[in-house]
Structures are given as C-alpha cells and as structure tokens.
Amino acid sequence: MKGDPDSRRRARYAAGTAAMLWMAQPPLGAWPIAWVALVPVLALVAERGRMPRSAYVVLWVASMGHWLVSLQGLRHAHPLMFLPWIALAAYLGIYMPLFVAGARRLLGLGVPLLIAVPVSWVGWECVRNYALTGISAAMLGHAMADVPPMIQIADLFGSYGVSFVLAAANVPLYLLWRWRTDRERDRAARRQLGLSAVAAIVLVSATLAYGTYRLSQPLGPATGTVALIQRDEQTEYAQDREREIEIYRRYAEQSVAALGESDSRVDVVVWPESMFTGGLPWTELVAGTDVAESLGYSAADLQLLVEENQQFFLRRATDLQRALAGVNGDAGVNGDAGANGDAGANGDAGANGDAGPPGVIGGSAVVRYAEVPEVYSGVVLVSPEGELGRWYGKSHLVMFGEYIPLVGSIPGLRELIPPGMGIAVGRRPERFRVGELTLSPNVCIESAVERVAVNQLARLLADETGELPDAIVNVTNDAWFDGTSVVAHHLRCAQLVAVGCRRPYLSAGNGGPTAWIDSNGRVVERLGFHDDGWVLARPAKETRTSWYVRIGDVPAKLLAAVVGLAVLHGWVMAAIQRRRAKPDAGSPDGSAETI
C-alpha cells in the first residue's frame, strides 16, 4: 500500500482539496480558491472502475484534518472540549467520502458530471445541517460571504444555492485540467469540456446578474438606533456570583460610554448572551404548579421569593436605564454606571435634552418554576418604561456545551459534566417591540444553524399577525473561543442568514462577533473580536420577503433525497451482486447458484 502509486495519488488529491477548502474560509479567507477547491477530489469522482475502500478512508482522514484545523478554537472553551472537538471533526469528516460516493453513484446512473457534483455536494450539506442537531459552519457557499453579488441567491435557496453554483463551477475547471494532462484528447472529452464550461458560465452569470439586481434595489429608511455592546470578558462554566456582578457592572459602564458618544437617540441597547444575568436570573412561577415542597419552600414563601427576585431584577434594570437616559442623545456627557451590578441612581436622567431611557435587550438566564423547574439560556426585553415585556428561550442547544446526549443513561457520566450544563429548550420565536422597532431574538449557535433563524421567521410570517420583524438580533458569548476562526465562521453564517431572511442582522457578542449586517449580507460595521466597544446600528426598513423564508430548504432536501437514494441503491445492488457470486454450500457440486 505504501508504494502503491494509485494510493499516493488519491492521498494527494484528498489532501489538496482539504487544504484548499481550509484556505478559502477563515482565517485566511482566500475566497477565489473556492472556485478550484474541489478540482483535485473530482479526479476521484471521475475515476473509472471500482474505487477501493482504502481510498474512502484516505478521504475521511484528510477531511477530518480539515475540520480539526477549521474548528480548533472549540478546544479553548474547556479542557474537556478536546474530546468533543476531535469527535466532531471525525464526524464531519465522513461527508467528503459520502460526497465522492454519491457523485460516483449518480455518474453510474448516467447523470452528467456537471449535475452529479453539485447535487451530491449540496445534498450532503443539507444532511449535515440536520444530523446530530445540525451545523452550518464552513459551508462551501460561506466562502463567498464577502462577495455580495454571489450571495444574493441565498434569498431563494439559502447558502445551499451558493454552494451549488461553486460546486458546479469546479467541474469545467477539473475537465480542463484533465484535458490538458490527458494524452488522448478525444472529441468526446472536448465536447464534454465545452458543454460544461458553457453551462457553468451561464449559471455563474445568472447568479451575478440576480445579485447585481438585488443589490441595486433601494433599502428603506432607518427604523431606529440599536447599540450593540461588546466586551471581551473571560467566562467559566462554574462562574461565581461576584464575577457575574463584575461583568454586569463593566457592561453597564460600556453602555453608558456608548450612548455618551452617540449624537442621536438610542432606542435599545443589546447585551450579549448571559451578560445581563449579573448573578440574578429572571424568575417566573407558573400558576397552578405544586413545586414549592420539592424545593424546600412553602407555596407562599416561593411565591414571595419569586416576586422579590423579579422586583430586584427590574429595579436593577431601571437603574441602568436611568443612567443611560442621562446621556442618551447627548454626546459627550459622562454618566456613572454605579457599582456592584447597580447601574446607579447616580446616572440620573438630567435636564438639557434628555432623550429618555432606551429599552434593553439582554442575554440572561431565565428560571421557570413549573412542575419541573426549567432553566433557559434566555433573552429578556426591558421596555423603556422599566417593565419586562417578553423573554425568549434558546430553542437550539449546543451539543456537549449545553447538553450531553444520553447523559442520564450512562452511569458515572453525570459527575464528569461541568456545572452549568443542561438547560431547557425554548418553545417558540418571539417579537420584541421597542418604539418603532420590531426585533426577532435568537441566541448563539442559532445563527450558525441556518434553518433555525429561517424557520423562526417562517413561523412569525405564518402566525396571526403575519408580520416579519425589522431585524434579527443575536446575542452570543464567543469569548470561549479566544478570537479563533470559530468566531469568524459564526459571523459568516450570520451574513448568509441575513440574505436568506432578507432582514438586517444585528449581533452582540462577548468576545465577538459584534456586527451590523444589512439585509444584503454586507457588514456595515463590526468590532474586532478582542475589542471592548460598541456598534451603533441603524437597520434599514426592509419590505422584501425572501422565497427561502416562504418555502424553506425544500430544494436542498430534494437533492439530499436524490443522492441518498442513489447511494442506497448502489449499496443494495452491490449486496445483491455479492450474494449472487457467493457459492452455495448446499449445492451438490459446490457450484455457485444465482438468485
């Protein structure tokens, strides 16, 4: 095997594609490489005859290496994350051999290479967006995130559409490479190259024409001003209350500084995931539940405790808003955000052009006392009047970060899990209304699993009001990843979600990404991942409704079904052939019988 020329050739091709896929994405972000990244591995797709299993193992190893490097930032979150990081890379690595197997099977069924390649690539991308809860990071189409004309088709087909175009465009470049290196340049090869080149040029040209048209459409006026606050505060799974209060105080001071620098009224201030908790989550007691005794309280005591917690939570929030009101719309005025998690009455709203307090959207833990107490990674809205309007519970949790599959079924595993893991799943999308702004909140990875944000907007579009929000607002805590490319992948996911939903995307992240992304996926303003600062976003009114929100990822699912059935058909046929070739021990002459 070591000296086998075919094995070495396949290994070079697999490694070449893995390396180029990495270079096309963050941290290098060399997007032109995406147009040729699949060329080496297409030599394996088009290889004649049966490909040995060892070739698929080589593909898996090379692809696993690509994912290990691309997602190496995951290991920064916690010492125990080394194993999940390796496991995730090993899992994601299987999609390259599956792509090759799917494309080869489609070729065997008579499908042209120009169709077989993008169908197989996008089909398996769709599968990984659902399997094991799904992940959209580093899709092939994300390489074009900073090429606005190329990504506008995401409002038709999501990131899958961009991936399809790129995968198809790799085919004529592979055929050109093969034709130039092939000693036998027959007429059929030239004809295949010509047809593929023409088809790819038409596809790319149509994509660019549609993108140019969409980018030429004017956006509406700004609907309000949103202050996105970022710090780079290090956090731990088991974080004490004093540290949470300290983080709250620093974010309060950062918010006062942000509004003090703004020369216009800020309507709402956004804090990242969990930064608004400040040692005290928002609590609710569900009426009619009998949970007090199991917690060691009487019913009356638990009711009183919840009410006192709510009062303190809102009093602290209104203290913050009072400090913010003193500088809101009055650039250069200094405000005192107070200490110990108290935004302070010292920042009293003064005279001289007081624009009033802004609303606050903050990432906060939410505890809901029901028959079984539930803890949510939540987002709360405190209105300018100091009332808690609505809260949103994160609906798509991070595997190994927020829950461990089968943790309760494996003896001794629960004791190994760090405190703070294991939260409840949110039930529905929400609309947060502040003044003239309507915002749809989501949390952390919900922007890195594309279907989550798209499905949330589809549900809002289908409800009794049928009203889409003015913008999507994401709160996240990516300080876990220490500014690695994982954070940059998160930002690119958000850019494609903005186009797919045709809504501005506002992200406030602890440690990044904090960015104002317009509805065309362009980053209007952003902070460095390690910066302490703010972005004052003025999202434009958007009247377009994307087809992707209306129909979802049905086209990608159809491609997944096609390639899945093709591979399954190949496995079944191979099993039948092996069965036919196997000698029947019961035969008198020992000869093989067919079925």
Catalytic residues: 273, 394, 444
Is 47 strand, coil or helix?
Answer: coil
Q: Which two tokens stand for residue 373?
A: 């107490």
The residues, ordered by sequence, that sit 6+ positions from 583 with a Cβ below 8 Å of its Cβ are 590, 591, 592
328 close to 265: Cβ distance less than 8 angstroms: yes
Q: What angle do CA 151, 446, 274 make, to 5 degrees?
A: 130
Query: Roughly how many angstroms between the first and final C-alpha of the chain, as a whole number?
Result: 35
Burial 161-173 (b: 16+ CB within 10 A, else e): bbbbbbbbbbbbb
Q: Are strands 471-477 and 437-443 parallel, antiparallel or unpaired?
A: parallel
Q: Which two tokens stand for residue 306?
A: 């919840």
CA distance to 140, 516, 563, per residue, from 523 (Å)? 19, 6, 35
Q: Which two tokens stand for residue 117?
A: 């390649």
Using the Cα atoms of residue 241, residue 323, residue 441 and residue 519 in order, give the sign of their dihedral: negative
How far is it, in rounded angstroms, from Cα 40 to Cα 36?
8
The residues, ordered by sequence, that sit 6+ positions from 363 with a Cβ below 8 Å of its Cβ are 271, 272, 273, 274, 275, 276, 277, 377, 378, 379, 443, 475, 476, 477
Is 381 strand, coil or helix?
Answer: strand
User: Peptide bond preceding 27: is omega within 30 degrees of 0, i.e. cis?
Assistant: yes
Q: Which residue has the tokens 């944000």?
A: 453
CA dihedral 267, 272, 277, 282 (to 10 degrees): 60
Q: Are strands 359-369 and 505-510 parallel, antiparallel or unpaired?
A: unpaired
Which amino acid, 574?
A: A
Q: Are strands 359-369 and 374-382 parallel, antiparallel or unpaired?
A: antiparallel
Q: Which two tokens stand for residue 110?
A: 């008579």
How far is it, in rounded angstroms, from Cα 432 to Cα 473?
10
